[in-house]
Amino acid sequence: MAGIDHTESSSTNRSGTDAQFARVVVERPSIDTLIQLLDRQGFRVLGPTVKDSVVTLAEIGSSADLPVGWTDTQDAASYRLIKHDRESLFHYTVAAQSWKQFLYPSNACLWKARRAGTELRIESGAQPEQKLALIGVRACDLHAIHVQDKVFAEGTYRDPGYVRRRSNMFVVAVNCSKANATCFCASMSTGPRATDGYDLCLTELSEPTGSSFLVEAGSSYGQEMLAQLPSRPATEADCAAGDAVAAGSIGQMKRSVDTTEIKPMLQKNAEHRQWLDAGSRCLNCANCTLVCPTCFCVTVEDRTDLSGNAERRRVWDSCFTLDYSYIHGGHIRTSPQARYRQWLTHKLASWHDQFGCSGCVGCGRCITWCPVGIDITEEVGAIRKSVKIG
Amino acid sequence: METLEPYLAELPFLRGLSTEHIKLIVGCASNVKFDAGQYIDREGQAANTFYVVRHGRIAIEIFHPTTGPICIQTVGEGDIAGWSWLFPPFVHHFDSRAVELTRAIAFDGECLRRKCDQDHELGYEMYKRFAAIMESRIESTRMQLMDLYR
Amino acid sequence: MSIPQAMTATSAGIDPMLPDLFRIRRVRPETHDTFTFELAPVQSGKRFSFLPGQFNMMYVFGVGEVPVSISGDATSTGLLTHTVRAVGSVTRVMANMKAGEIIGIRGPFGTPWPVQEAEGNDLLIIGGGIGLAPLRPALYYALANRSRFGKVVLLYGTRTPEDILYRKELESLRARFDLDVDVTVDRAGGDWHGNVGVVTRLIPKASFDPGNAFAFICGPEVMMRFTAMALQKREVPLQSIYLTMERNMKCAIGLCGHCQMGPLFVCKDGPVFRYDRIRDIFTTREI
């Protein structure tokens, strides 16, 4: 990734203009072999798995830990996991949470301090960590990681932990074989096909008898790993089948965001009545910011114990909380509509000013996990309908 | 008073008035001097004078029974003090006191009211100017009310 | 005399979330709720530098961290000066700290007052309440480089005469022949012989050339808004007016998100802003 220090040659190589790697097809046992190889190389292998009636991201040991035969139906304020008729490994879209929980943990020790009399000692809280292998990263989530790179790894100040985790990460992307009603990656130009930023990219070619996987390497390290897996060269029919999978997903997409001139549209309409409308529905519960793969706000907590030790922890926070904007004298954003406006305007407009890209990747999690089903695409659409640009 | 005319014509407060009007006003004006600490007007007294401060400072005060005098605004060089002469019952609402040695031009309000009644154009010009002064004072007072530095 | 370049934490390879340790050398009471710390690095020989207008995050062991502007002379590298008002949980603990105790310091952060850009012009420094503290380093710069400026005018307003910050220093500054100092209070008792009224009332009478002046304003947001309007009334161009803003800060390095004001991060795009850049934000509520 541009701006990341490549301490090892295994870093996910982003440039799509690298040497073309030939496509191959592998069967399910190769997925297990891959996981074992990564484990032996010291990676902590993470991937989707079923837990608490959702697809969530966790450590996996083999392909059996993946949501085999499961599919999801997501819509506004609705998530259902259903068994379907095939032994697919990846036939669902985004997990309930995103990969940011591993790259930028929700609760981390920044440093510890010890007091002795009037003296004080402070030491960093950074701990040695296993390098990460991410299996089954969707195109939208891959883009979200690029977006967070701009935040944590390409600014004046960088987060050392994030940079470390990103620089020795192994990514196996997967092209979505379906789209949910909440997906709108196509209109955000972030999917459903992964284009770069991975070491390996899988497209599941699903048959009633089981799946095979069209695999493309995206880096030399990915190519090295692929070379150690049983495979056969991909035929033209295989590649066409892979293309059909992507086309099918795009065809299923129902929601979209028109991003034309979206920055001035939102920034110049701070008093639009739609904010009051959304604010009257919004519970300020912060679910959307917790599941959003690009939201990055944190707070710090200072703790002490009775024996003279203090600790500073960094904890995920949300612009939807009242205290988020507290200064002496009171809060800046007290009303629910002001907080909703802050989140949406930041995500779709201010992000461009700050980081040169959109903060939204169209994953749709905020629509699924909003308890009252507020739909970011609808809110933006309502403003656009009633506003003349230019 | 002839010697006052050039000075009055230069005052920002009277700028734009015709020479005739300035002559009319000069007829109601006189030089005054207050010693440091001297009370100029008292709450409740008849209000028939307003002042343009030439040098010094006038404090507008309210007397509080237990805290004593509280100064809520000072008026300095070039500023106007007093507008109660414009509105019936023409009575002062506050105390005013010279904080330091103060020289001012005093305008006979009763005299000026009569002239404004006869010459409505003069009246219009005077009330326009006083309205602007009051607007500025109200804005100032509102900001003081906010207790900004709390 | 030039100001040494302030280092950014990344350029020095330091973790910007780790505080450096400073020891309180002296505590000066200023008003009933305000005090000044003079601090020196615990590690002897350690240098620090800052630009006028920048701030540090001050850490009190076990309690927390607050952003505080640096209020001392930027050319003196020995002592770090911070004037603090006790208004919250951290600052109230700080108010009881004594010489010898340790404070964690992270910084300096933020954009500075454009003192060099202002050279060749008149300089108006307008403070309200505790707002005089972040302005003081800019005033010191102007006085240390006096010949590079035209008129230098300091206007200061606060609640009551007892709340006047740096009073003795202001009185001796007032005695200079090359500096105009005017002070006002919101209300006073009978023993105050100075101005009473809001600080904006000092602007119509201040002596400066609006077409060739820079104005640095610091104080409560409402005061800054009205001061900017009063300056505009005197035809000072918007591009010559600078304010310093305050928002909730947790990291001061643009990563926690809290200090956002529209698309701007107060900690790294500010806290000093040119007025024309943030004027729209002032007129939008709850932004």
- A216 in Cβ contact with A195 (< 8 Å): no
- The closest alpha carbon to C247, from A332, A272, A378, belongs to A332
Q: CA of C218 to nearest chain A CA: how many angstroms apart?
A: 15
Nearest CA in chain B to C226: B143
Class of domain C20-109: mainly beta
Neighboring chain B residues of C155 at a CB cutoff of 8 Å: none
Edge-to-edge strands, sheet with B39-41: B39-41, B95-98, B58-64, B68-75
Q: What is the C-alpha separation between C39 and A203, in angstroms, rounded?
A: 61
Give the whole-angstrom CA distance, residue C279 versus residue A345: 18
- Identity of the residue in B76, B78, B147 whose CB atom sits nearest the CB atom of C195: B76
Closest residue to B71, CB basis, from C130, C192, C205: C192
For chain A, the domains span 24-252, 262-386
| DSSP one-letter code for C3 | P
Neighbors of chain A by Cβ distance (3+ pairs < 8 Å): C
* Residue C175 CB contacts under 8 Å (≥ 6 apart), including other chains: none
DSSP string, C28-68: EEEETTEEEEEEEESSTT------TT-EEEEEETTTEEEEE
- Determine phi and psi for A202, rounding to 5 degrees: -110, 140
Sequence-ordered list of residues with C-beta below 8 angstroms from that of A182, at least 6 positions apart, any chain: A74, A75, A76, A93, A255, A364, A365, A367, A368
What is the C-alpha radius of gyration for chain C, rounded to an integer number of angstroms? 18
Each residue's pLDDT tens digit, C227-256? 999 999 999 999 999 999 999 999 999 999
Helix (H) or strand (E) holding C130: none
Q: Which of residues 103-162 of A touch C (CB under 8 A)?
A: 110-111, 113, 115, 118-120, 122, 124, 151-152, 155-160
Search chain B and give the residue with CA nearest C132.
Answer: B149
Is A298–C251 a contact, with Cβ atoms under 8 angstroms apart? yes
- Partners of C40 on chain A (C-beta within 8 Å) are none
Q: Contacts of residue B149 in chain C, CB cutoff 8 Å?
A: 128-130, 158-159, 163, 186, 219-220
Contact check, Cβ <8 Å, C9/A157: yes
Whether chain C has a CB inside 8 Å of the CB on A292: the answer is no
CATH of region C122-244, choose from 3.40.50.80, 2.30.30.100, 2.130.10.10, 3.30.870.10: 3.40.50.80
Which tokens go with C112? 């500075």
Whole-number Å distance between alpha carbons of A116 and A387:
63
Cβ atoms of B114 and B81 within 8 Å: the answer is no
Percent of chain C clearing pLDDT 90 (strictly above): 88
Angle at C138 between CA C134 and CA C141, to 5 degrees: 145
Tens-digit pLDDT profile for chain A (390 aa)? 333 433 333 334 444 434 467 799 999 999 999 999 999 999 999 999 999 999 999 999 999 999 999 999 999 999 999 999 899 999 999 999 999 999 999 999 999 999 888 788 999 999 999 999 999 999 999 999 999 999 999 999 999 999 999 999 999 999 999 999 999 999 999 999 999 999 999 999 998 888 999 999 999 999 999 999 999 999 999 999 999 999 999 999 999 999 999 999 999 999 999 999 999 999 999 999 999 999 999 999 999 988 889 999 999 999 999 999 999 889 999 999 999 999 999 999 999 999 999 999 999 999 999 999 999 999 999 999 998 654
* Look-up of token digits 């020790």: A109
Domains and CATH numbers, chain B: 29-145 (2.60.120.10)
Q: What is the DSSP letter of A320?
A: T
C158 vs B150: CB contact, 8 Å cut-off? Answer: no
Q: What contacts 24+ positions apart, CB below 8 Å, involve C89-96?
A: C89/C63, C89/C64, C90/C58, C90/C60, C90/C63, C90/C64, C90/C65, C90/C66, C91/C66, C93/C60, C93/C63, C94/C35, C94/C37, C94/C58, C94/C60, C95/C33, C95/C35
- The pLDDT of residue C9 is 37
Q: Which residue in the set C10, C65, C284 is minimally distant from A158, CB to CB?
A: C10
Q: Which one-letter amino acid corresponds to residue C66? A: V
Structure tokens, C21: 């340790």
Answer yes or no: do C21 and A335 touch at CB < 8 A.
no
C-chain CB neighbours of B133 within 8 Å are: none
- Residue of chain A minimizing CA distance to C97: A118
* Pairwise CB contact (< 8 Å): B70 & C187: yes
The answer to whether the Cβ–Cβ distance between C18 and A338 falls below 8 Å is no
Interfacial B residues in 62-91 facing C (CB < 8 Å): 67-74, 76-78
Q: Is the pLDDT of residue C101 over 60?
A: yes
Contact yes or no for B71 and C195 at CB 8 A? no
CB contact under 8 A, A327 and C63: no
Mean pLDDT of C54-68: 96
Is the minimum CB–CB distance between C128 and chain B shorter than 8 Å? yes
| Whether A325 and C248 lie within 8 Å, measured CB to CB | yes
Chain B residues lying within 8 Å of C128, measured CB to CB: 148-149
Interatomic CA distance for residues C115 and C121, integer angstroms: 10
CATH 3.40.50.80 domain residues, chain C: 122-244
